[in-house]
């Protein structure tokens, strides 16, 4: 179901805002948004002008591109009447028309990865942000005083922002791993020095060399603390010479040591970004799988003990129907046809009539997607988990805000 709402703020805007013109420059899609970018979008305000938030799924291939253009045009069509509403201030209408043109231009001329385009625009205030999400999110468009970021953050919260650092007794290099992208994390002490350990190895005074190493490790640890504070990393992966790694990790602050999810050995030849990426991504994958196994096991144990949990697709659909889901765990490849009641927002695998309100239900190709969208709208978290995470044939499980009321008779297990 598409959504369109608007709150254009004050009826009049400042003279400065009236003089602004729509953004014309091409904007690249950000497929690995920084924490600062996410916060900036969350805090966007347009001096009384509305902000358009659009989410458009991107399917690969030629047909997918046609679908993207068609869907975008359909979404923009929903807000065209607002842009032409003469009861609104002229600057508001002018900004909305600029938003419509700018979003259409981006989709028409750009090339995008599969997933979802999340676009935030207030052209009269010079605002235009395009974020590429790695998962499909249902299409929607809103016009409001603030950006509609909940669908975006619900997807991004599934992924850990990882800092990978390669360090030896003289040099240090760091990378950011996020959403399958690898970015330079910033300069660290020793990043510009020549050959690994070259100067230190030339020194004859072993005690002096140890002191220099310790000082270097402390400097790198301090720089990493600052990077974590600025960039909001979730976890840390460390690579280096096996005999030096314990000494370096010992120099990290306690909060940083607690975020180390793995280390890997690296000799002189492997101290390169490509090698670091392979090691760090493998460690990050294992960590995330371990986390999913732990969380799924906790939900299953809670359900077995009669706690606030639902296990299996049908109980989870009922939990979503009554807005009880706190965290939903879904098998990565799971899908199932089902039905939805647009009046009561009841989800099920099958039923001609909604048992809650008596209205006719609507068939949907994948009721799990509808459940996920409902949980996102309710403020719950989503976790797509690997087949090895422990769900087995259950497909879905959920931790709940409260104990589920009895489901309508005959709607579960039939």
- The closest alpha carbon to 141, from 49, 59, 231, 78, belongs to 78
Under 8 Å between Cβ of 199 and 208: no
More confident residue, 350 or 209: 350
Q: How many CA atoms lie within 13 A of 139 on its CB side?
A: 16
Q: Which two tokens stand for residue 254?
A: 């306690």
Domain with CATH 3.30.1330.30 in the chain: 308-400
Q: Mean per-residue pLDDT for 208-231?
A: 91
Output the pTM of the full model.
Answer: 0.82
CA distances from 58 to 66, 79, 110, 143, 344 (A): 10, 21, 12, 21, 30
| The pLDDT value given to residue 24 | 40
State the pLDDT confidence band at 195, using cuts at 50, 70 and 90.
very low
Give the chain's count of helices (H) and strands (E): 12, 16
Q: Which two tokens stand for residue 174?
A: 């760091």
| The pLDDT value given to residue 385 | 94
Fold for 15-156, please state it: 3.30.960
- The closest alpha carbon to 124, from 151, 143, 111, belongs to 143
Domain with CATH 3.30.420.60 in the chain: 162-287
Rounded distance between C-alpha atoms, residue 173 and residue 187, angstroms:
7
Q: Which two tokens stand for residue 246?
A: 């314990």
Q: Which residue has the tokens 């104990």?
A: 403
Under 8 Å between Cβ of 329 and 292: yes
**pLDDT tens-place string over residues 50-81:** 999 999 999 988 888 899 999 999 999 999 99
| The pLDDT value given to residue 3 | 46
Beta-carbon contacts of 8 under 8 Å, excluding residues fewer than 6 positions away, are 48, 49, 50, 82, 88, 89, 92, 143, 145
State the pLDDT confidence band at 183, using cuts at 50, 70 and 90.
confident
State the pLDDT confidence band at 170, using cuts at 50, 70 and 90.
confident
Fold for 308-400, please state it: 60s Ribosomal Protein L30; Chain: A; (3.30.1330)
Helix or strand (DSSP H, E) at 74: helix 62-83
Burial of 31 (0-12, 13-18, 19+ CB in 10 A): middle
**pLDDT tens-place string over residues 368-403:** 999 999 999 999 999 999 988 999 899 999 999 999
Q: Which two tokens stand for residue 283?
A: 């460690």
For residues 82-98, b (16+ Cβ closer than 10 Å) or e, as one string? bbeeeebbebbbbbbbb
CATH number attached to the domain at 162-287: 3.30.420.60
Q: What angle do CA 224, 226, 229 make, to 5 degrees?
A: 110
Q: Is the pLDDT of residue 202 over 80?
A: no
| The pLDDT value given to residue 59 | 92
| The pLDDT value given to residue 394 | 92
**pLDDT tens-place string over residues 85-103:** 999 999 999 999 999 999 9
Q: How far apart are the first and last CA of the chain?
A: 27
More confident residue, 363 or 273: 363
Q: Is the pLDDT of residue 45 over 70?
A: yes
State the pLDDT confidence band at 276, using cuts at 50, 70 and 90.
confident
Burial of 264 (0-12, 13-18, 19+ CB in 10 A): buried
Domain with CATH 3.30.960.10 in the chain: 15-156
Backbone angles phi, psi at 11, to 5 degrees: -70, -25
Among 180-184, 250-254, 281-285, the minimum mean pLDDT is found in 180-184
Q: Is the pLDDT of residue 6 over 60?
A: no
Strands 51-58 and 115-122, sheet pairing? antiparallel
């Amino acid at each position: 179901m598409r959504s369109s709402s608007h709150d254009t703020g004050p009826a009049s805007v400042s003279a400065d805002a009236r003089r602004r013109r729509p953004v014309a420059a091409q904007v690249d899609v950000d497929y690995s948004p920084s924490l600062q970018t996410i916060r900036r979008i969350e805090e966007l305000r347009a001096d009384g002008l509305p902000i358009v938030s659009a989410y458009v799924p991107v399917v690969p291939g030629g047909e997918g591109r046609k679908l993207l253009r068609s869907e975008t045009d359909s979404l923009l069509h929903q807000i065209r009447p607002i842009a032409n509403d003469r009861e609104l201030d002229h600057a508001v209408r002018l900004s909305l028309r600029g938003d419509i043109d700018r979003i259409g231009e981006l989709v028409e001329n750009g090339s995008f990865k599969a997933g979802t385009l999340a676009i935030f625009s207030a052209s009269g205030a010079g605002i235009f942000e395009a974020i590429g999400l790695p998962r499909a999110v249902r299409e929607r468009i809103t016009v409001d005083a603030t950006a509609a970021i909940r669908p975006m953050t619900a997807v991004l919260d599934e992924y850990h922002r990882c800092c990978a650092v390669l360090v030896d007794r003289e040099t240090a290099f760091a990378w950011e791993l996020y959403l399958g992208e690898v970015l330079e994390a910033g300069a660290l002490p020793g990043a510009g020095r020549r050959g690994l350990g070259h100067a230190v190895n030339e020194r004859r005074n072993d005690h002096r060399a140890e002191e220099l190493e310790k000082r270097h490790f402390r400097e790198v640890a301090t720089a990493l603390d600052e990077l974590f504070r600025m960039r909001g990393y979730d976890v840390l992966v460390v690579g280096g010479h096996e005999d030096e790694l314990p000494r370096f990790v010992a120099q990290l602050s306690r909060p940083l040591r607690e975020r180390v999810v793995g280390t890997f050995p690296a000799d002189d030849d492997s101290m390169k970004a490509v090698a670091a990426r392979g090691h760090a991504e493998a460690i990050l994958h294992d960590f995330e799988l371990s986390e999913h196994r732990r969380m799924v096991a906790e939900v299953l144990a809670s359900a077995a003990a009669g706690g606030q949990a639902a296990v299996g697709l049908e109980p989870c659909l009922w939990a979503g129907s009554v807005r009880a889901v706190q965290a939903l765990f879904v098998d990565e490849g799971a899908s199932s046809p089902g039905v939805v009641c647009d009046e009561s927002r009841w989800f099920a695998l099958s039923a001609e009539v909604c048992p809650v309100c008596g209205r006719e239900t609507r068939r949907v190709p994948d009721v799990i997607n509808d459940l996920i969208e409902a949980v996102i709208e309710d403020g719950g978290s989503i976790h797509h988990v690997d087949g090895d995470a422990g769900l087995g044939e259950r497909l879905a499980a959920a931790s709940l805000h409260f104990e589920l009321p009895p489901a309508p008779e005959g709607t579960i297990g039939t």
